Amino acid sequence: MAQNGFETLGLRPELMQGIKELYYKQPTAIQAEAIPLILQGKDVIGQAQTGTGKTAAFVLPILEKLHPHKRDIQALILTPTRELSIQIAAEIEKLGKYLNVQVLSLHGGTDIERQISKLSRVVQIVVGTPGRVLDHLQRGTLHFGRISWLVLDEADKMLEMGFLEEVENIIVSTPQNRQVLLFSATMPDQVKQLAHRFMRQPPHIKVEQKQKTVESIEQMYYVVNQTDKLDALLDLIEGTKPYLAIVFANTQQRVQALAARLKQQGYDAEALYGDLSQKKRETLMRDFRRVKFQFLVATDIAARGLDVEGVTHVFNYDLPSDVESYIHRIGRTGRAGQEGTAISLVSPRQKSLIKRFEKAIRAPIEEKVLTPGHHLIEGRRKRAEEREAHYASLRAEKLREQAERKKRQEAPLLEALKKGKKVKPGYKKKLAKEAELWKKQYEQKKKREEAKAARKAAKKQR
């Protein structure tokens, strides 16, 4: 590909204007190989990892050959998740801004009646998840009899999620002469079989990467005890000063707690997780892209397919259990040639997992020593005080139990003395001896506690 980049592709001026406004400079490897073949009308298999620009690799040639004045649906793009569907639709709108292209995202979690209303108007490109697209087909509110392009994006993920039957039913509803474009990070047998059944001798473009993660991402980890993680995160945020950051946690409850704590510390933070309504999710992502808040705290729902410019840092508050999730998470930064930083907080037991990730991605993940900041120092002091208070409470409870036990043991004697009854020979002497022993033990313990407190007080005064 020549140095003047996209100009060599001979794209229409309106499309070049959209490319220019998105600051695309040079085609990525997958774009440089796929776009000319797609423009020639060939079915294409594109194999590339996330963050390599594969969305534009199929969107640009479709927009180049699209007929803006036709009212029919001309292209269908299937994706595994609603987030990716929304993302691709937004990308098409930006690139096709000066072509006045009408695009619609069809996904679950939104009012189907509203989608039906939009489908009654002009729609030229449909992006959607298999379940919702098939729902519209069965209702008769969607027809693909005249489409020219069918795109299966992230095909491996789509089939992994159990959409094979839906995808096949959708494909057979499209004309035989349509152009099929399949993009996938991996090529498991199911994807190969799908390509063999429904594609016409497609060239297989495989973008090999020496590293499975972007070279512009600096990856590091800190070994931190679970009790110190939150304070360590706050210290790292203060030290790294992110412009925009995503903080990943493994559960919804932890995401909510982290977002609340960041807000308490004065940061603009919002929580993104599966149980939020689709409208709330869309609003959050729109506000994050517009930099209306600085920290997005999320579960893995945000790890795949979300492209937000300007994310400088990704924090793995919780480490994911598999390498693919790790790659997708850190891939939210260092996009479009920009530099990024990925920081993971790792428990001592998880160091072996990090080494496994490092081997799989063929890139270094540097271990760094955490320098305690004021959050961590203050947090440790507070937790030490809480532990001491807890142990003091346990000691007091033990003394109470001992006193109760002694009282119960003395009860028969007191009762006998009270009633003037005789007791067994030697019982008084035995009881007196036990009382003397308890008293001696109590006084020894008291002296040890006082000595310990005196040493602690002297240490503080130094």
**5-206 and 217-371 share one fold:** yes
| pLDDT, average across residues 5-15 | 88
Write the single-letter amino acid at 270.
E
% the chain with pLDDT above 70: 91
Q: Which of 6, 112, 103 is nearest to 56 (CA)?
A: 6
- Give yes or no for residue 254 having a pLDDT over 70: yes
Per-residue pLDDT averaged across 19-41, rounded?
87
Reported as a single tens digit per residue, the pLDDT across 294-342 is: 999 998 865 555 678 889 999 999 998 777 778 888 888 887 667 899 9
CA distance 445 to 443: 5
Using alpha carbons, list the distances in angstroms from residue 19 to 254, 333, 338: 39, 21, 17
pLDDT bracket for residue 3 (50, 70, 90): very low
pLDDT one-digit tens code per residue, 353-362: 898 888 878 8
Domain ranges (residues) in the chain: 5-206, 217-371, 377-461
What is the per-residue pLDDT across 67-100, written as a single tens digit (0 to 9) for each?
988 889 999 999 998 888 988 998 899 899 899 8
CATH 3.40.50.300 for the 5-206 domain, yes or no: yes
Q: How far apart are CA 342 and CA 281, in angstroms?
A: 24
pTM for the model stands at 0.56
Task: Give the model's pLDDT for residue 212.
Answer: 54
Residue 387 clears pLDDT 50, i.e. is over it: yes
DSSP 325-349: HHHHHHTTSS-TT--EEEEEEE-GG
Q: What is the per-residue pLDDT for 77?
A: 97
Q: Do residues 212 and 324 lie in contact, with contact meaning Cβ atoms separated by under 8 Å?
A: no
pLDDT over 70 (residue 52): yes
In sequence order, the 6+-apart residues with CB closer than 8 A to the CB of 96 are 15, 18, 63, 66, 103
Q: Under CATH, which number does the domain 217-371 receive?
A: 3.40.50.300
Distance, in Å, from the CA atom of 342 to the CA atom of 197, rounded to the nearest integer, reads 40
